[in-house]
Amino acid sequence: MLWLSEVLLQGHDLESFEGLTEAIKERARAGEMFFRMDVRPPFPDTPEDWEDRLEAAFSSAQPG
């Protein structure tokens, strides 16, 4: 289970929502099966539909 808060804590070098999106894609490609969003990303460029965008990034990057 991949938690958004975990990605943010481990990716202390992340500086933007775009960077976070790429990190989520990488984790999906690495085999994570489930993704939960437990916090709002703290970036100034975080869009209003951030949940939909992160879910789409995770789903589209999963193998198979």
Domain boundaries defined on the chain: 2-61
Given a cut of 90, whether residue 2 has pLDDT beyond it is yes
pTM comes to 0.93
Tell me the pLDDT tens digit for each residue of 3-56: 999 999 999 899 999 999 999 999 999 999 999 999 999 999 999 999 999 999
Alpha-helix runs per DSSP H in 3-49: 4-10, 17-29
- 3-class DSSP assignment, residue 30: coil
pLDDT for the residue numbered 4: 98
pLDDT for the residue numbered 63: 83
